[in-house]
């Protein structure tokens, strides 16, 4: 439990630092680039996200195989999995770099405005893709830390990288009045080099005792990884499509400036879910190891604990998000981005469903139900694209329509499909694994409806916003803890 708290707090610290950096740097970047060039920067990152799919989900699959082998005390097999994936990532640039340049030529519009900075865009994309490749190698190496559940060290690496990147960006923009997308991407690349060096250092000292050597790599082992990874790739493609195809739809059916507005709302809702997801994610290696040992009872208890923790912390934070997001964006970016608050609230609507189903979803992945889960993601991505186009073109809902389409897909997956698959595959004996999420969702949406319709907050001062938001959130968490304390005690007593 102590290590869990350390992992959770350190992971949250990284997100808080990341949010703080984004908070202070985004207005500077937008003011320096302008909404048009900032929209291009968002599109570059969206293209890079698609290019990341060329790693075929090997990193996620490797983590699963390493954790299962390690849970059975088979370090030799775990070393073979890790070394085989490292060999893959070492050779990956030979394919990714030339293909990515070709994709960028195809993806970007052939307009006069784009042609004027085409070389700058391609240079920026080259450094961004190179940074991506280094980050993939770093993530692969850090599996040794993840398997040992040393997420605080992973968080430290990410924290140092974030601060380093922010410092270089601020120096470039403030001292040199930098407006180059290429230099911005170069900064990202240099940061990736730092992350790789830190990953090598900490994984060697504090990771599990696995041998990371090319001589342990084998085609037979990698074939097992890639057979699993093919479906992970399809799932990742669907996730990236849901997250980033919206930007291309908006730029094509509305305009590039609207991409900036949507990106701000998406970014804020993403950080909300990402921060709260750490409650579940730091337990993913343990979930995989419990599945590897076929410990159904231990898995059920762990999932119940995660659900309880989400009921205590996530619901109050989400409620406060709805109460204060309008004032936050108005103070942060001004009236120009007021529609971003609407987008953020719509995208955040399914967040509690996502959080309460994550533990069950992780167990299904560890169980090897990758094909079914990937098909769910693929169908969801296709549905998201179709709904987005229809809601923009037919119903003229603009950015709101895109956000609604994304949220509807998330609701369908988390409220219907994941619970159904978990009941069918895992056959849990304790109904609270599914009853508690349903109760949490009903409670959360009831309170959100009341607070957003009966309480209208307009705060025009940062100090008042921080003090009021912090106080209200703390009060809600305290009340939630009191309401859930009996439930939490019963779960711990069962153990």
Question: Taking a C-beta distance cutoff of 8 angstroms, is the pair 250, 262 a contact?
Answer: yes
> How far apart are alpha carbons 77 and 225 in whole angstroms?
12
Per-residue pLDDT, 493: 44
Written as six digits, the tokens of 151 are 């997420």
Q: What is the mean pLDDT of residues 385-404?
A: 91
More confident residue, 66 or 104: 66
Query: Residue written as tokens 């909300």?
Result: 272
445: tokens are: 């949406």
Structure tokens at 94: 């030979």
pLDDT of 256 over the 80 cut: no
Number of H helices, E strands in the chain: 20, 0
Alpha carbon 211 to its chain centroid, in Å, reads 29
Q: What is the mean pLDDT of residues 42-47?
A: 77
- The rounded distance, in Å, linking the Cα atoms of 470 and 327 is 14
Query: Tokens 């001292």 identify what position?
Result: 175
Q: Which of 23-27, 100-104, 392-396 shows the lowest per-residue confidence on average (mean pLDDT)? A: 100-104
Model confidence at 160, pLDDT cuts 50, 70, 90, reads: very high
Residue 449 to residue 455: CA distance in whole angstroms = 10
φ, ψ of residue 209 to 5 degrees: the values are -80, 75
Please give the share of the chain, as a percent, with pLDDT higher than 70: 87
What band does 450 get if pLDDT is binned at 50, 70 and 90?
low
Mean pLDDT of 235-245: 71
How buried is residue 218: exposed, middle or buried, by Cβ count under 10 Å (0-12/13-18/19+)? middle
> What is the band of 495 on the pLDDT scale with cuts at 50, 70, 90?
very low
Q: Which run of H or E residues covers position 108?
A: none
Confidence at residue 435, expressed as pLDDT on a 0 to 100 scale:
56
pTM comes to 0.72
Helix (H) or strand (E) holding 161: helix 151-175
**Comparing C-alpha atoms, which of 437, 290, 276 is closest to residue 356?**
437
Query: How far is it, in rounded angstroms, from Cα 406 to Cα 425?
Result: 27
| E strand segments, 297-443 | none
Residue 185 to residues 54, 101, 121, 190, 373: CA-CA distances in angstroms? 20, 15, 10, 9, 34
Which whole-number Å values give the CA distances from 331 to 27, 238, 275, 318, 459, in the listed order? 11, 35, 22, 20, 9
Structure tokens at 323: 């109460």
Section 233-254 average pLDDT:
77
First to last CA, the chain: 13
Question: Has residue 492 got a pLDDT over 60?
Answer: no
| 3-class secondary-structure state, position 111 | coil
Confidence class of residue 443 from pLDDT cuts 50, 70 and 90? low
Judge contact between 216 and 84, C-beta under 8 A: yes
pLDDT of residue 417 exceeding 70, the answer is yes
Are the C-beta atoms of 96 and 129 separated by less than 8 Å? yes
In the predicted model, what is the mean pLDDT of residues 153-177? 87
Write b or e for each residue in 16-45: b if 16 or more Cβ atoms lie within 10 A of its Cβ, otherwise e.
ebbbebbeeebeebbebbebbbbbbbbbbb
Examine the pLDDT at 234 and tell me if it is beyond 80. no
27-41, 287-301, 421-435: range with lowest mean pLDDT:
421-435
- The alpha carbon of residue 75 and the mean position of all alpha carbons in its chain are separated, in whole angstroms, by 30
Mean pLDDT of 13-24: 84
Residues 344, 429: contact at Cβ < 8 Å? no
| Whether the predicted pLDDT of 97 surpasses 50 | yes
| Residue 431 clears pLDDT 80, i.e. is over it | no
pLDDT category of residue 468 using cuts at 50, 70 and 90: very high
Alpha helices (runs of H) in 92-150, residue ranges in sequence order = 93-107, 112-116, 118-141, 143-147
Q: Which residue has the tokens 């270089």?
A: 168
Give the per-residue pLDDT at 54.
67
Residue in 436, 406, 401, 403 with CA at minimum distance from that of residue 422: 436
- Cβ within 8 Å of residue 155, ≥6 positions away: 7, 10, 11, 13, 14
- Token pair in block for residue 479: 């009340």
């Amino acid at each position: 439990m102590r290590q869990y708290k350390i992992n959770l707090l350190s992971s949250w610290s990284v997100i808080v630092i990341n949010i703080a950096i984004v908070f202070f740097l985004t207005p500077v970047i937008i003011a320096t680039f302008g909404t048009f060039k900032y929209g291009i920067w968002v599109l570059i990152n969206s293209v890079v996200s698609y290019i990341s799919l060329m790693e075929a989900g090997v990193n996620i699959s490797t983590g699963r195989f390493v954790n299962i082998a390690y849970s059975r005390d088979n370090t030799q097999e775990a070393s073979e999995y890790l070394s085989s994936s490292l060999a893959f990532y070492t050779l990956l640039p030979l394919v990714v770099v030339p293909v990515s340049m070709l994709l960028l030529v195809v993806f970007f519009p052939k307009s006069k405005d784009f042609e004027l900075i085409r070389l700058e865009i391609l240079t920026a994309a080259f450094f961004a893709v190179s940074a991506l490749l280094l980050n993939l190698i770093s993530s692969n190496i850090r599996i040794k830390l993840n398997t040992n559940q040393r997420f605080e060290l992973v968080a430290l690496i990410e924290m140092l990288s974030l601060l380093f990147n922010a410092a270089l960006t601020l120096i470039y923009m403030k001292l040199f009045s930098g407006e180059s997308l290429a230099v911005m991407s170069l900064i990202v690349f240099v940061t990736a080099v730092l992350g790789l060096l830190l990953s090598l250092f900490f994984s060697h000292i504090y990771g599990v005792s696995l041998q990371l050597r090319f001589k342990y790599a084998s085609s037979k082992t990698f074939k097992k990884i890639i057979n699993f990874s093919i479906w992970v790739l399809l799932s990742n493609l669907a996730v990236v499509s849901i997250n980033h195809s919206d930007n291309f739809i908006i730029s094509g059916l509305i305009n590039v400036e609207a991409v900036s507005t949507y990106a701000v709302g998406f970014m804020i809702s993403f950080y909300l879910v990402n921060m709260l997801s750490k409650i579940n994610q730091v337990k993913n290696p343990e979930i995989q190891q419990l599945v590897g040992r076929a410990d159904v009872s231990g898995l059920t208890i762990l999932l119940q604990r995660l659900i309880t923790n989400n009921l205590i912390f996530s619901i109050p934070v989400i409620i406060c998000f709805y109460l204060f997001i309008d004032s936050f964006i108005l103070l942060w970016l001004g009236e120009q981005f007021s529609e971003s608050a609407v987008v953020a609230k719509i995208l955040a609507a399914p967040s509690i469903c996502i959080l309460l189903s994550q533990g069950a979803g992780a167990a299904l992945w560890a169980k090897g139900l990758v094909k079914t889960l990937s098909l769910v993601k693929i169908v969801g991505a296709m549905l998201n694209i179709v709904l987005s186009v229809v809601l923009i073109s037919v119903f003229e809902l603009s950015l709101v329509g895109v956000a609604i389409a994304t949220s509807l897909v998330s609701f369908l997956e988390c409220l219907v499909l994941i619970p159904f698959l978990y009941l069918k595959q895992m056959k849990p004996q304790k109904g609270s694994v599914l009853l508690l999420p349903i109760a949490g969702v009903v409670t959360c949406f009831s309170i959100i409806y009341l607070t957003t319709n009966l309480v209208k907050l307009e705060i025009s001062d940062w100090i008042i916003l921080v003090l009021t938001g912090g106080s209200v959130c703390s009060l809600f968490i305290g009340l939630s803890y009191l309401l859930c304390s009996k439930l939490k005690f019963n779960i711990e007593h069962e153990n």
